[in-house]
Amino acid sequence: MSRRLRAASVHVLTAIGAVLALLALRAVHQADWQMLFVWLGIALFVDAIDGPLARLFEVKAVLPRFSGERLDLIVDYLTYVAIPAFVLTETALLPEWSRLPAAIAVLLSGLFHVSDVDSKTEEGYFVGFPAIWNIVLLYLFVLGLPPYGAFAVVVGLVLLTFVPILFVHPFRVVRLRILSGLVALVWAVAAAVAVANPFPSAFWVKMALLAAAAYFASVGLGRGLRRFHDAAGDGPGPAS
């Protein structure tokens, strides 16, 4: 296979995310929540592998006319933000009066994140809540929170988009990468079990997903506190 064909195939793989977004919309229209998360899950997997493939095949150098980063942002906004926002308007997850305002807030805060050139640190941490609304949506279905509880979660995460706290990327952040990868694997297994069964999920699935979320939040919070400590001039923190 030629270099150009390999590079083009990576762009096609990324673009398939738009097709998956369409299939997810059809699932919402049919109120098939399990299939909704199947399509969003495949989109998440594609998003996880297209970046490493692009670097492996030197896509940017081989096909400089086409921006994989721009294509990735467009597709990510569809699958991570726009589809979940639409789902919030079509379900009883939130109080009825709040569904459209909450969806609008998700859309606008998501736009802020994807257009923020300082949304990632050099270490690979996200700055502010990274608009992973597809994951949040899964948690809302899994946990079966009361509508006002779910509303509080959405509002809190919208606000955290604009707060410079750190959120860890399980594969790009070097510190604790192996442990983070293992936790991500446990999360993926629990998420797959959740999607394969009716919502809300079994107790152990809820606990596994909550424990994974707590781990990733604590890693980001810990690095953020060390970063603040360093910026305050109290001396260098431990290596990350």
The domain locations on the chain are 1-67
Closest by CA to 128, choosing from 112, 143, 139, 142, is 112
Closest by CA to 45, choosing from 192, 154, 163, 149, is 192
Give pLDDT tens digits for 184-212: 999 999 999 999 999 999 999 999 999 99
Alpha carbon of 103 to those of 110, 134, 150, 202: distances in Å?
10, 13, 13, 27
In sequence order, which residues have a C-beta less than 8 Å from that of residue 71 and are 6 or more positions away? 11, 14, 15
Q: For residue 56, what are the β-bridge partners? A: none
Alpha carbon of 172 to those of 48, 135, 169: distances in Å?
11, 18, 6
- pLDDT > 90? residue 120: no
Q: What is the pLDDT of residue 220?
A: 86
Q: How far apart are CA 20 and CA 9, in angstroms?
A: 17
- Indicate the pLDDT class of residue 223, thresholds 50, 70 and 90: confident
Q: How many residues does the chain have?
A: 240
CB 103 within 8 A of CB 88: yes
Give pLDDT tens digits for 51-110: 888 888 888 888 888 888 899 999 999 999 999 999 999 999 999 999 999 999 999 999
pTM above the 0.85 mark?
A: yes
